[in-house]
Every structure is written in C-alpha cells, then in structure tokens.
Chain A
Amino acid sequence: GAVVSQHPSRVICKSGTSVKIECRSLDFQATTMFWYRQFPKQSLMLMATSNEGSKATYEQGVEKDKFLINHASLTLSTLTVASAHPEDSSFYICSANPIPGMFQETQYFGPGTRLLVL
C-alpha cells in the first residue's frame, strides 16, 4: 500500500516549452502533496506544498509563475514547468501524505521525473 506514481518518468523538451508532471496517489487519498527538486548528487529541496482545493504554498525563492501547481483531486497533483529553460533541468519528486486528519506521520514518495531541457 501507499504507492505514489509520477508521469512521465523522463521528459526531454526544447527550451521555451511547458512541461506537465503528474503525481498520483494510487491506493490512498491525500489532501496534501509536496513537490521537491533534486539536483545531481544533492539533497531534496522542497519547492511547494500542494493542497487539494486551494492554492499551493511555495517555498521562498521558488517562482510560482514558473512552477504551476494544481491539486485537482485527492489523488492527483500536477506540476507544470512553464516556458522551461535549461536551468530547470532537474529531478522532480513528489510525495503525498495519506488522510484522514491533518497531522500525518509519513510522506510517501513517487519515483521521480527527470526533466532535461535542451
């Protein structure tokens, strides 16, 4: 149980295009999902907290107009990288907290999406 999927697993795009990444909780519902970014051989940096039915909360320094987050349902959050540039190339990982309740104990992580912008 507690499986999180991401799609696509890998994407290559041209500079200036937009890329959408999906994060789904397959066997549980999640009011809260998180988006992380990981550079090669570095740790995960939280980008934003995605809340179902409301606006995402972005961490300091993350451009909300560049990284658009939509938490459409209790099992789906999407991250759209708008007008991607080579510096946006990275490994993007989502995680989800199962409900019920607000104080959850464990985040379950997706397998990640590798984005390469040419």
Chain B
Amino acid sequence: AQSVTQPDIHITVSEGASLELRCNYSYGATPYLFWYVQSPGQGLQLLLKYFSGDTLVQGIKGFEAEFKRSQSSFNLRKPSVHWSDAAEYFCAVGAQTGFQKLVFGTGTRLLVSP
C-alpha cells in the first residue's frame, strides 16, 4: 500500500522568499504524484501532478515540483512566495491502476510573514 510523509507540519516564509515543501512517498511501483492546496474551509485545488516523463513538473501559481525516484521524493517549490500562498498544502500519491485512489500526506501549513 502506498503512503505519504510530509515531515513539516508548519513552515513560515517571508514574502518574496523561496519555498520548498517536502514530500516523501512509499509505493512499490511508479506512482502518480500530486500536490494540492487547500485554503481555510475550502476544498482542494490541484497545483500540479506527475505521471511520467520529465521529472520537473510545472504547475499553476508559479509552483513546480521535482520527482526524485532515488529519494522517493516529490518536493514542491516556488521561487518567490506571495502572501496569498498562505494555505495548507497536501501531497498525495495514487496507484496507476483501478480507480485512482489517493493517499494524502498530513499536510504542511504555510504561513507567510510580511
């Protein structure tokens, strides 16, 4: 069974600074990997996804993530954080079979300081 670890519960970044959110997964085969963002009281919005091919994936809102098979990681990055990026970020892994069940990490709450 697949699993996801997001080791950082909270991260505080100054506005304009760079950001990296960590995600490690466990899955026996090639995974589908996703990053979602959730604003307070809202559903989830897809930032980006990786299925195959180029291991550096570009997403919306200036985010990118890099799949590193050797490290079982899929870290999310943004070169310059905006105050509106403050939210909860979830990494998720899906199996490449069946009905695309997703397993989510515990999330990382991003705080942006002025």
Contacts and interface: CB of A to CB of B under 8 A. Distances in A.
> A and B from one assembly?
yes
A97 B97 CA distance: 13
Contact of B105 (A34, A43, A105): A43
B63 interface: no
Contacts of B102: 34, 46, 95, 107
Interface stretch (A12-20, A78-86, A109-117): A109-117
Given A42-B106, A44-B90, A103 B43 contact: no
Interface in A86-107: 91, 93, 95, 97, 102-107
B72 interface: no
A43 B100 contact: no
Nearest to A104: B100
Contacts of B90: 43-44
A32 interface: yes
Nearest to A113: B43
Interface of A: 4, 6, 32, 34, 41-46, 49, 51, 91, 93, 95, 97, 102-112, 114
Interface of B: 32, 34, 36, 41-46, 49, 51, 90, 96-107, 109
Give the top 10 A-B pairs by smallest Cβ distance, nearest first. Answer: A109-B44, A111-B43, A109-B43, A43-B104, A43-B106, A44-B104, A112-B43, A32-B99, A110-B43, A104-B100
